[in-house]
Amino acid sequence: MHYPVWYLPEIGGGSLIALIAVFHVFVSHFAVGGGLYLVLAERKGLREHSQAILDFTHRHAKFFLLVSMVLGSISGVGIWFIISLVNPAATSYLIHSFVFGWAAEWVFFTVEIAAAFVYFYLFGKMDWSTHLKVGYLYFFAAWMSLFLINGIIGVMLTPGTWAETGDFWQGFFNPSFWPSLFFRTFMAILLAGCYGCLSAAWSRDEVVRVKMTRFSGLWSLVAFIGAVPAAAWYVLVLPAGPRQLVLGKSPTIVLALEYGAVAVLLLLTITLVATIIRPQFNNRLVALVAMACAFVLLGSFEWIREAARRPYVINEVIYSNSIFKKDADKLTASGFLESAIWVTHKRLSPDNRVAAGRELFIHQCYSCHTLGGGNNDLAAQTADMSYSALVAYLGKMHTLRPFMPPFIGTPDEARALASYLIGKVHGKEVQEPVERAGDGLAAGRRLFEENCAACHSQEDVAGAFDDQTKEKAETILLTLNEISSEMASFGGTDFERGLLADFLRLPVASPGAQKVVDGAAVFDMHCASCHGAEDLVENTVSWDRALIYENLSRLQELVPEMPPFIGSQEERGALAKYLDDLKGGK
């Protein structure tokens, strides 16, 4: 809210960060582990008096230099650029809090570059003993870069007491500092092994290819063995919220874990079979598949780490949408727009609701959601929601989905946001719900929209309720958390639970009921005397089936000349389905 938002609704800033960050991590961890790999490969060549291995090491050093310098160092600057474009408030906060940590990292980056150049350009020209020392110096500087960055970015996930004190050292040595450092070090070793296999696969000397493949495979195996306890330790030190997300509460993390698990299994299989047991199997294709697995593994790790912070970008300090946690209550009371700098509509009026809603979307939703794009598309996610459903959902979004920030603003601002999404984006009707006393069906429908429609359509849940008695349906609503840990039990009053149970038991979504009662016959009996079917298609074109069903119960309110519908609930449901089908269910 303090900074402008670079708004690319169909791409999303998060996608750009993920793209650059995963790429950089894949290269930068290699830049750490690969340094040690080079030194030990060189030592192996010297110990075995093998010029072929030394030549391989020299070639690998060239590859290493190109990858780490061209791709690694520039993409590192790229991350800096992109996070300051997408999340400037958090970037600024981290830069100011840890400026001397970053500055110290820059010193090691400088030593790293100098040592890498000396190592490569003087390979075979410098005496071996000094050359190995240069290699060790490179690795030390690269690992120290990792050490420093690990401390600074670790605070984003596990700030510990730093969140309150702002103390540099408390933040740097945050609760996940050591497990993260160990895990990343093993990842660096793993990547050194994978890149080593890749270089070996390109070797024309069969003996070297086999020998260096096995040598590289052992690196990967050691990394796997070390990474498992480090990962477990990492999870154990997480605070309860992030740990629950990592262990299954977050759908995006579950997906990333699945990808990561497949990558680990495949990479472990390749490591054991094609590099250690039968290194002859290693070829360019196998090595590239292993690299792809390593990329997915690193990518899923970074994705999980980032997703586990949610709803924060800096845990307990700044929400994902750049709003400081300490400001949330005040903004909720006084209004977001009034305090936001980069908005044009400071005050809401009937004329600017949609435009203000768009600004609220940009500042509160866009950091994680695209609009019509591939990543977390909010247009798709709200497609089945009505205006009132979205308004209600915004009010309890953080409770239902703890990995999402609360909507921060007044109820009017929430309605403005819903107006934009439902009215402008989806072109649906935006109307405040008006309930008539005694209209239990409308109330039930509203309760459904407020409590269920964010995740379920009426058809989705029909199967669970259509054959139930009212009492049984009410019991189900009380035990939703037992069906899925991602659901909460219905939290309304007993009366509201009864209304919702009535609504859910409606035959409108019950295929069984529709078979029993013929909607066309009901139409003929109740409507055809005054209406042609085409007329009713026109009249009901903007209604969905549930609304048709609902309106059939209050025909006289809609058109005073009409008699009330006289028929059973089943007949009303069948008629609603028939009319809905006539217009193609749209």
User: Residue 156 CB, nearest distance to another protein (Å)?
Assistant: 16
Q: Which of 113, 254, 255, 289 binds another protein (CB under 8 A)?
A: 113
Query: For 2-19, b where at least 16 C-beta lie within 10 A, e where not — what string?
Result: ebebeeebeebbbbbbbe
Write the interaction track for another protein spanning residues 332-361; mark x where CB under 8 A is met and - where it is not.
---------xx-x-----------------
331 binds another protein (CB under 8 A): no
**Pick from 150, 137, 133, 134: nearest CA to 28:** 150
128 near another protein, judged by CB under 8 A = no
Rounded Cα distance between 34 and 193, Å, is 8
Nearest distance from residue 419's CB to another protein, in Å? 20
Q: Is 164 in the site for another protein (CB under 8 A)?
A: no
Q: Does 95 bind another protein (CB under 8 A)?
A: yes
* Strand partners for 370: 377
Site for another protein (CB under 8 A): which residue of 92, 161, 334, 399?
92
Say whether the peptide bond before residue 311 is cis (omega within 30 degrees of 0): yes
Per CB under 8 A, the list member of 12, 14, 45, 78 interacting with another protein is: 78
Query: 522 near 574, Cβ under 8 Å?
Result: yes
63 binds another protein (CB under 8 A): no
Nearer to another protein by Cβ, of 101 and 573: the residue is 101
70 binds another protein (CB under 8 A): yes
Smallest distance from another protein to CB 100, Å: 4
Decide if residue 91 touches another protein (CB under 8 A): yes
What are 247-256's contacts with CB under 8 Å, separation 24+? 248/485, 249/402, 249/403, 249/485, 249/486, 250/307, 250/308, 250/310, 250/403, 251/486, 252/303, 252/307, 253/303, 253/304, 253/307, 253/308, 256/299, 256/300, 256/303, 256/304, 256/307
> What is the smallest separation between the CB atom of 1 and another protein, expressed in angstroms?
9
Torsion sign across C-alpha atoms 299, 301, 305, 310: positive
Answer whether 389's CB lies under 8 Å from 443's CB. no
Is 136 a binder of another protein (CB under 8 A)? no
Smallest gap from residue 69 Cβ to another protein (A): 6
Nearer to another protein, 147 or 303 (CB): 147
Q: What is the DSSP letter of 430?
A: -
Give the max Cα distance, the chain. Answer: 104
Stretch that binds another protein, among 48-56, 77-85, 187-195, 494-502 (CB under 8 A): 77-85
> For 341, which DSSP code?
S
Residue from 40, 46, 52, 111 in contact with another protein (CB under 8 A):
111
CA atoms within 13 A on the CB side of 566: 3
77 binds another protein (CB under 8 A): yes
Specify the stretch interacting with another protein by CB under 8 A; choose among 110-118, 185-193, 328-336, 434-442: 110-118
| Nearest distance, CB of residue 128 and another protein, angstroms | 12
Between 109 and 387, name the residue whose CB sits nearer to another protein: 109
Window 357-416: residues binding another protein (CB under 8 A): 362
80: tokens are 């800096």
Contact present, 184 and 172 (Cβ < 8 Å): no
Task: Name the nearest CA neighbour of 552 among 537, 531, 573, 535.
Answer: 573
388 near 432, Cβ under 8 Å?
Answer: yes
Structure tokens at 81: 């650029």
**Of positions 48, 51, 66, 236, contacts another protein by CB under 8 A:** 66
Q: Which position among 29, 38, 42, 73 is part of the footprint of another protein (CB under 8 A)?
A: 73
Q: Which of 32, 36, 38, 134 binds another protein (CB under 8 A)?
A: 134
> Interface with another protein includes 125 (CB under 8 A)?
yes
Phi, psi of 364 (to 5 degrees): -115, -25
99 binds another protein (CB under 8 A): yes
Binding of another protein at residue 166 (CB under 8 A)? Answer: yes
Q: State the amino acid at position 84 in one-letter form.
A: S
Count of residues near another protein by CB under 8 A: 66
What is the rounded distance in angstroms from the CA atom of residue 215 to the CA atom of residue 227? Answer: 19
The residue among 135 and 573 lying less far from another protein, judged by its C-beta, is 135
Helix (H, G, I), strand (E, B) or coil at 584: coil
Interface contacts to another protein, rule CB under 8 A: 2-8, 16, 20, 66, 69-71, 73-75, 77-78, 80-82, 84-85, 88-89, 91-93, 95-104, 106-111, 113-115, 117-118, 122, 125-127, 130, 133-134, 137, 141, 166-169, 341-342, 344, 362
